């Protein structure tokens, strides 16, 4: 059993798909308070901020798990789109390019802390304009780092992958699961 301190349906689905029992207890953290432009530093600082808030709100009788994910493209951090126009701009930037999806996760269990920063790299074909518009209209991009769903819309455009798909979906469960089992 783990306490997932995230409102992400995708992270919850990942834990469920790996057979990990969890309680979902979302916490609030102001990601805009982090000012670094380095993607790995940013995602780590956000995860660390969420972790500190989780420790204030919950005891560790049930292990605590926090995570944050961003996309880096051409040295720029692509976060969650605030509206459809921003999502379109971000997705047009991703189309036909290479991106890195970076997730920082922190697990606190008993006296142990597990901290991981993982990167999954993707190379995409150009997105079909009509298909992109359908995706934008569907609003499935809402709440997704870089408006990108590698398990959904973006999947058919992947030319090359390096890394864990679970990491790109927001939680490298294959790396976390062994630490929950001992």
Among 9, 30, 68, 116, the active-site one is 68
Report d(CA 20, CA 1) in Å as an integer.
7
Which has the closest alpha carbon to 44: 28, 22, 68, 25? Answer: 68
Angle, vertex CA 65, rays to CA 60 and CA 66, nearest 5: 125
Are 117 and 104 in contact, with CB atoms under 8 Å apart? yes
Give the side-chain half-sphere CA count within 13 A for 177: 14
Residue 9 a catalytic site member: no
Which has the closest alpha carbon to 169: 13, 4, 5? Answer: 13
Sequence-separated (6 or more) residues with CB below 8 Å from residue 173: 14, 15, 17, 18, 20, 166
Instruction: Reduce the DSSP state of residue 101 to 3 states and report it.
Output: strand
Residues tagged active-site: 68
């Amino acid at each position: 059993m783990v306490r997932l301190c995230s409102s992400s349906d995708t992270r919850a689905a990942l834990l469920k798909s790996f057979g990990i029992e969890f309680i979902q207890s979302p916490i609030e953290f102001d990601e805009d308070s982090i000012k670094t432009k380095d993607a790995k530093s940013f995602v780590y600082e956000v995860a660390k901020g969420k972790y500190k808030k989780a420790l204030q709100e919950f005891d560790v009788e049930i292990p605590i798990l926090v995570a944050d994910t961003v996309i880096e493209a051409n040295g720029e951090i692509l976060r969650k789109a605030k509206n459809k126009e921003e999502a379109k701009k971000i997705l047009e930037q991703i189309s036909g390019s290479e991106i890195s999806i970076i997730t920082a996760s922190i697990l606190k269990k008993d006296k142990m802390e597990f901290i991981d920063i993982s990167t999954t790299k993707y190379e995409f074909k150009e997105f079909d304009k009509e298909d992109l518009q359908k995706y934008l209209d569907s609003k499935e991009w809402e709440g997704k780092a870089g408006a990108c769903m590698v398990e959904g819309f973006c999947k058919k455009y992947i030319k090359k992958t390096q890394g864990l798909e679970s990491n790109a979906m927001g939680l490298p469960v294959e790396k976390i699961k062994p630490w929950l089992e001992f």
